[in-house]
């Protein structure tokens, strides 16, 4: 991967529209998962258990679950594959990857590189398909008796459908599903740091990441200053354009349906009384481009506060107390990532422990790292990826009792 990093980045930008600089970062991130799990393969430890019997010894072995079906999304067409496949191969599982129908070429490029690197034929397999056949192929993978493990990243609705299919044969399942990440700014926060974190968290990949901040909750004492500085930063540093052009920070959204959802969230909010601070419509560059948009005076009943937007929309909700912020943040039925900014040590502990999410960024807008566990709670999924915990998703624990000693 590192030898072909420039080609891989260009493939990502060509098929997803992601700015080339971000695509280059994704390739490095992707390769790190392979490196990480190649090292973790050495640390698949078993165990020896002391028993009450002199004639017996108890051992614990860890063994690969078997064939793993990996279903990946379009927003990180390389990294979402290596995060799963790296763990599976290190555990000793063979894999069948069904990439997103919008972005199949990164998966195929990785297959070619796997072949060049000496991965045995049949260990890493790719099954691309059309949008029309996606549901059928997903069902086939989840119901085939030869498949022992399903790992899926995508929407909560699709995850539920795959869980239903996998239930009939009781397959091992990992799910990394949708989020509705709150980004809370308390009165004690450093506003400039919070704005920088908001920009990184919200507008990476044009707002199309599962850990993107979806709801900005800003305390009343700092609210106006935060909105003003965030609008200023958006106008100054975000540039919509072709992903291959130097200086582009915001590429197109993945397809027409994605743009329509952002439009719906904006129009719904404005109709219910939100204030448009900047942006708000499709960009003149073309139908799949949308202006980075900031809304204030947002309320909890608006769609953008209740549904994952997956686009460059930042809605700001004003709150007054810590308790109110936590109620709003935890009202969602999903819980992937959450962020908050505060300089109060006691508050940092309270809020970090009470946020109902799998990952918390405290005074930090970017969470992901290969060494750290990635995953959510509630309807955001099952299991963890990356880190020392990620390889366990592809291992079975076997107890062996030796008698007659």
253, 289 in Cβ contact below 8 A?
Answer: yes
The Cα 265–Cα 268 span in angstroms is 5
Residue 198: count of CB within 10 angstroms of its CB: 26
**Catalytic site residues?**
176
Q: Any idea which residue has 């894999």 for tokens? A: 95
**Residue of 74, 98, 89 lying closest to 390 (CA atoms):** 89
69, 162 in Cβ contact below 8 A?
Answer: no
Question: Which of helix, strand or coil describes residue 110?
Answer: helix
Chain-centroid distance of CA 317 in Å reads 24
Cα separation values, 194 from 11, 13, 202, 215, Å:
33, 29, 12, 14
Chain-centroid distance of CA 376 in Å reads 10
> What percent of the chain is helix, strand and coil (3-state, nearest 5)?
40, 20, 40
Cα Dmax for the chain: 79
**Residue of 68, 249, 255, 88 lying closest to 171 (CA atoms):** 68
The Cα 263–Cα 310 span in angstroms is 11
Cite the DSSP H helix spans in 272-395: 303-306, 322-329, 345-354
The Cα 311–Cα 309 span in angstroms is 5
H or E segment at 25? helix 20-40
Instruction: Give every CB contact of residue 349 below 8 A, 6+ residues apart in sequence.
Output: none
Q: Are strands 395-402 and 57-64 parallel, antiparallel or unpaired?
A: antiparallel
**Residue of 54, 70, 135, 66 lying closest to 94 (CA atoms):** 66
């Amino acid at each position: 991967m590192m030898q072909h990093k420039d080609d891989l980045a260009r493939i990502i930008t060509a098929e997803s529209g992601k700015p080339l600089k971000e695509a280059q970062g994704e390739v490095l991130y992707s390769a790190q998962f392979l490196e990480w799990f190649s090292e973790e393969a050495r640390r698949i430890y078993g165990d020896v258990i002391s028993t009450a019997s002199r004639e017996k010894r108890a051992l614990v072995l860890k063994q690969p679950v078997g064939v793993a079906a990996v279903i990946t999304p379009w927003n990180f067409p390389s990294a979402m594959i290596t995060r799963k496949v790296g763990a599976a191969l290190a555990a000793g599982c063979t894999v069948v990857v069904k990439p997103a129908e919008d972005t199949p070429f990164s998966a195929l490029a990785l297959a070619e590189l796997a072949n060049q690197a000496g991965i045995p034929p049949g260990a890493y397999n790719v099954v691309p398909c059309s949008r029309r056949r996606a549901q059928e192929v997903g069902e086939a993978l989840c119901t085939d008796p030869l498949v022992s493990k399903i790992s899926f990243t995508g929407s909560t609705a699709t995850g539920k459908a795959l869980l239903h299919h996998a239930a009939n044969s009781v397959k091992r399942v990992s799910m990394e599903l949708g989020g509705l990440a709150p980004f809370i700014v308390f009165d004690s926060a450093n506003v400039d740091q919070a704005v920088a974190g908001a920009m990184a968290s919200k507008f990476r990949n044009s707002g199309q990441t599962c850990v993107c901040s979806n709801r900005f909750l800003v305390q009343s004492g700092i609210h106006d200053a935060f909105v003003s500085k965030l609008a200023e930063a958006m106008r100054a540093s975000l540039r919509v354009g072709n992903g291959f052009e130097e200086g582009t920070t915001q590429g197109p959204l993945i397809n027409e349906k994605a743009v329509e959802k952002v439009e719906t969230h904006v129009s719904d909010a404005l109709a219910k009384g939100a204030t448009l601070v900047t942006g708000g419509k499709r960009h003149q560059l073309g139908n799949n481009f949308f202006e980075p948009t900031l809304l204030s005076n947002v309320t909890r009943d608006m769609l953008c506060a209740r549904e994952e937007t997956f686009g460059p929309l930042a809605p700001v909700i004003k709150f007054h107390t810590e308790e109110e912020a936590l109620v709003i943040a935890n009202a969602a039925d999903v819980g992937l990532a959450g962020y908050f900014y505060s300089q109060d040590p006691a508050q940092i502990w309270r809020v970090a422990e009470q946020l109902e999410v799998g990952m918390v960024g405290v005074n930090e807008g970017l969470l992901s790292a290969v060494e750290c566990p990635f995953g959510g709670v509630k309807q955001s999924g099952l299991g963890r990826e990356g880190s020392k915990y990620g390889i366990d998703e592809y291992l079975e624990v076997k107890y062996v009792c030796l008698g007659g000693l």
